[in-house]
Amino acid sequence: MSDALHIVCPHCSGINRVPTSKLSDGGKCGRCHQSLFDGTPLELTGSNFLRHISKNDLPVVVDFWASWCGPCKMMAPIFTQAAAQLQPHYRLAKVNTEIHQQLAAQYRIQSIPTLAIFKHGQEIARQAGAMQLPQLVQWVKQYT
């Protein structure tokens, strides 16, 4: 592992170099000075999606969801709990497929919720359906 990781700021999308030894300390963005990790999932859009999945050295776990989806609503607090547990070693993010239909089509999301793990811009795992917290955390850790 290198001496530093590139971490994309969840607030301004600036790219920060964070020494691996300081990763657990969290850190602040060099551009906007806000926290790089706040224990909550990041909302991704069509304009910032590619930057976050391809420029982060951390694996990015994306929840593709919709507001009308019952299992998505059930899983939302679980995904937030997972973010609190898995950060700063993973970035958890959400994409609202109702609003960002082009992203859902581009990544061939056929059912929701669908979770996908990206590493350096490449999808390395995908799981459709809601999960409980222990299964979600175990699933993420087995692919990274």
Residue numbers annotated as active site: 69, 72
Tokens coding 81:
């709990």
Classify residue 55 as exposed, middle or buried by CB count within 10 Å of its CB (0-12, 13-18, 19+): middle
Task: Determine contact, residues 123/91, Cβ cutoff 8 Å.
Answer: no
Q: How many CB atoms within 10 Å of residue 66?
A: 17
